[in-house]
Amino acid sequence: LAIILFTKTRIQLKAEIITIGDEILIGQVVDTNSAWLATELNKLGVEVVQITSVSDNRNAIIEGIDRAIERAGLVITTGGLGPTSDDITKTTLAEYFDTQLILNQQVAGTISTMLALRGVVMNERNLKQAELPEACEILPNSAGTAQGMWFSKNGSHLVSLPGVPFEMKTIFSDELKPRILDRFHLPFIRHITLLTHGGAESEIAIQIREWEEDLPKTIRLAYLPSPGLLRLRLSGRTEGNVQELEQLMEKEKQKLETLLRDYVFGYNDDKLEEIVGRLLAEKGQTLSLAESCTGGYIASLIASVPGCSAYFNGGVIAYSNESKSRELDVSPYTLMINGSVSQPVAEQMAHGCRMRFQTDFALAVTGIAGPSGGTEEKPVGTTWIAVADKHMTYSKSFRFGDNRGRNIQKSAMAALFMLRKTIMNCQ
Amino acid sequence: LAIILFTKTRIQLKAEIITIGDEILIGQVVDTNSAWLATELNKLGVEVVQITSVSDNRNAIIEGIDRAIERAGLVITTGGLGPTSDDITKTTLAEYFDTQLILNQQVAGTISTMLALRGVVMNERNLKQAELPEACEILPNSAGTAQGMWFSKNGSHLVSLPGVPFEMKTIFSDELKPRILDRFHLPFIRHITLLTHGGAESEIAIQIREWEEDLPKTIRLAYLPSPGLLRLRLSGRTEGNVQELEQLMEKEKQKLETLLRDYVFGYNDDKLEEIVGRLLAEKGQTLSLAESCTGGYIASLIASVPGCSAYFNGGVIAYSNESKSRELDVSPYTLMINGSVSQPVAEQMAHGCRMRFQTDFALAVTGIAGPSGGTEEKPVGTTWIAVADKHMTYSKSFRFGDNRGRNIQKSAMAALFMLRKTIMNCQ
């Protein structure tokens, strides 16, 4: 094993992430590992300066590492550690760090035990997973057979992790994170994000320009637009007093919040479904859902939040007209006269759902998600959303675009924003 | 405008993608643009050799471009074109290509009209979007205010696109793609992917080893594991006869399929919900869903498929015991004796749902998604799945892990695989 020496001087550790795999470069897989790793590294005070994706190719991997090591003290690679012939990261790293692969009996034993628990007999491919570079520190993988590896050379560090997200995360959290905290003495990076809804990016930019120009130099602002919402992120960094930085950021956050009072609906990684869930839980109130065009998507968002059974009673996916009448008591006459995508149908769905499920609130959506089903009067994207509470039923119509997936997402966002407002206003 | 000269010689165009934005490097945003662009470029026969993410920083952008241009004839950047002060891509590119920003009256007019249609009055920030580098070709954006830009220098080409996915895609499809096809004479790249379920990566690797060793040199194989399924991708490339390559790949695909007959369930970008949908549509049969722990997630998958209303009648999200009895006719006695996560409850949910919705098939899931709610006998992850058809109701129990999100996804995959098998076996 290599002997690794670390000094406890406060350093500004820069990191780079290299994801290895042809599947990323041909676009077959969206690289979610980098975003996860970047988030975790930032939390530790490590600044990620570049993310690079290269193919399963020796030269590309070596060039990627060479360049990354010029810019960053810590390079983390993911991918290419599987048991199959297209996985060449391990042999390439052994070559790069001028060492050889040797069978690690202890790892072989662990892998064999792990496979036995799954009822699988160890085969030669699995055994190859226990052949590891001699000059590296092994970061054991409790979630799979590909081990993590820490290499050091001339003061630079490279850590290789598997590409399977769950295994990568397990090794990072259990093995890599404690080592980084122990071996480097890091500066502090803090982020606060305000989530806004209802204001255009350019309007908001003008509204906060003076505040933005007066921001202290240690704090940066970024605008992050996405469909239906705009996030404003404050990033601060210090190698000195972290409490001071946090206080300063909190002060600027409050100023910004005051300027954008009408738009701010949440913070940081808050999701709209979590915000709605918290509101319901705090008020001790319940929700049911009646979905047509969104087909269960809103329910799946609500149900993704741990503990939702405290306020979410369930709902009905009423795709056909018959199910709207049978399961939600929508009048067949109303359906016949107005069509299923109409204000009275949306309102009857919400009301009927609330009565059936005996909840404080019910949300209903009916629309034409597309790509077919549109008419001149009701083109694809036409959507009615209704919210019922104990006093009355509110409804609103929208015209989204012609993309099915986006229409479903936009309908869900609009519906949850309407629901949030109703819950907040409800006495 | 720069004068761009292109020769129609057959070239091996290599491309690189550079995504610009602090939000990617701090992990706040998952970069989905690169995967989309890489897929599209591959389809055109352009090989993507590297994807790089850099921050909104002049030096990082310039270094990234310098290095990319060494390796690739076409560099595509996304991001940093917004109207706010953290967006510096445009000014950096003007500097890099030694040109100046000038107000483009035609673009200013288009932006003003676009905003007017949305009921927004043009402000100074919007107007800045019409200030564009003199020495570039403008790729008009019909979906937003940030224009695409094509720069050329010493035989290298750089195209800058906005980071908002919808706008990036619009400019690529409407403006960039036709120009690439027109200006470069490209080789052919083809991919065929087999989707398999039920075999471990290392088992399959052994089973197909001989075939893999005999693969022609123009074809490469890659293993792409993800939870619940393993994709095997064949990639072929030729600068000569594309029909010959396609025939060769088809032949190898068939050999592989024969070897893995029991595991293959789909091809290429097929999704399980699409495969199930196609099966139902072909047989003219219908489906309803009864979901507890998955909370509408399976329904949202089924409903994401265009045309699903032909076979999907809807369903019930029965989160509470009351709703299981009221909406799905599950016996309160069965619930009391067995608990809601049990075989008889799953089966009664499926049967009750099928009766209510009068469908050929009904799928039911009840489980403990976590993080709380587990007991010693039924730990978090315990899940019962039942499928009802006109003959009988089948059920199966699973023990997934302790992660709520993963449990919901795994339950959905397992349920759809059970449903697929039932539909295929049903006479």
Give chain A positions within 8 Å (CB) of B42. Answer: 26-27
Q: Cβ of B295 and A303 within 8 Å?
A: yes
Over residues A35-81, the pLDDT tens digits come to: 999 999 988 889 999 999 999 999 999 999 999 999 999 999 999 99
* Phi, psi of B234, rounded to the nearest 5 degrees: -95, 130
**What pLDDT shows up at residue B4?**
47
Q: Cβ of B300 and A299 within 8 Å?
A: yes
The answer, yes or no, to whether residue B427 has pLDDT greater than 80, is: no
Nearest alpha carbon to residue B146 among B5, B293, B20, B2: B20
**What pLDDT shows up at residue A1?**
40
Give chain B positions within 8 Å (CB) of A220. Answer: 22, 86
The answer, yes or no, to whether residue B12 has pLDDT greater than 80, is: no
Residue A64: closest C-alpha in chain B: B50
Site from B49, B51, B170, B172 to mutate, A interface, most A CB atoms within 10 angstroms:
B51
Closest chain B C-alpha to A176 CA, distance in angstroms = 18
**Interface size between A and B, measured as CB pairs under 8 A:** 319
* Average pLDDT for B348-354: 98
**What pLDDT shows up at residue B11?**
63
From A225, A327, A373, residue closest to B164, measured CB to CB: A225
Over residues A340-356, the pLDDT tens digits come to: 999 999 999 999 999 99
Q: Are B233 and A25 in contact (CB under 8 A)?
A: no
Residue B14: closest C-alpha in chain A: A25
Q: Cβ of A299 and B289 within 8 Å?
A: no
Over residues A237-271, the pLDDT tens digits come to: 888 898 999 999 999 999 999 999 989 999 998 99
Q: Cβ of A205 and B49 within 8 Å?
A: no
CB atoms within 10 A of CB B118: 7
Over residues A14-35, the pLDDT tens digits come to: 999 999 999 899 888 899 999 9
Residue B67: closest C-alpha in chain A: A67
Residue A145: closest C-alpha in chain B: B202
Going by pLDDT thresholds of 50, 70 and 90, the confidence category of residue A84 is confident
Q: Cβ of A35 and B36 within 8 Å?
A: no
Q: Which of A130-134, A346-350, B11-15, B393-397 has the lowest mean pLDDT?
A: B11-15
CA distance readout (Å), A21 to A58, A68, A87, A226, A341: 11, 17, 8, 28, 46
Contacts of A297 (CB under 8 A, 6+ apart): A291, A408, A409, A412, B296, B300, B303, B304
Torsion of CA B176, B179, B185, B190, to 10 degrees: 30
Closest chain B C-alpha to A3 CA, distance in angstroms = 31
Mean pLDDT of chain A: 92
* Average pLDDT for A168-191: 92
- Helical pair A89-96 and A58-71, crossing angle rounded to 10 deg: 60
The answer, yes or no, to whether residue B29 has pLDDT greater than 60, is: yes
Over residues A278-292, the pLDDT tens digits come to: 999 999 999 999 999
Q: Are B269 and A373 in contact (CB under 8 A)?
A: no
**What pLDDT shows up at residue A11?**
63
From A53, A206, A371, residue closest to B306, measured CB to CB: A371
Nearest alpha carbon to residue B179 among B161, B204, B162: B161
Closest chain B C-alpha to A2 CA, distance in angstroms = 30
From A50, A126, A313, residue closest to B53, measured CB to CB: A50
Site from B126, B320, B327, B349 to mutate, A interface, most A CB atoms within 10 angstroms:
B320
Over residues A101-157, the pLDDT tens digits come to: 999 999 999 999 988 887 778 888 889 999 999 999 999 999 899 999 999 998 899
Q: Report the SS3 class of residue B238.
A: strand
CA distance readout (Å), B102 to A81, A195, A385, B135: 50, 34, 45, 10
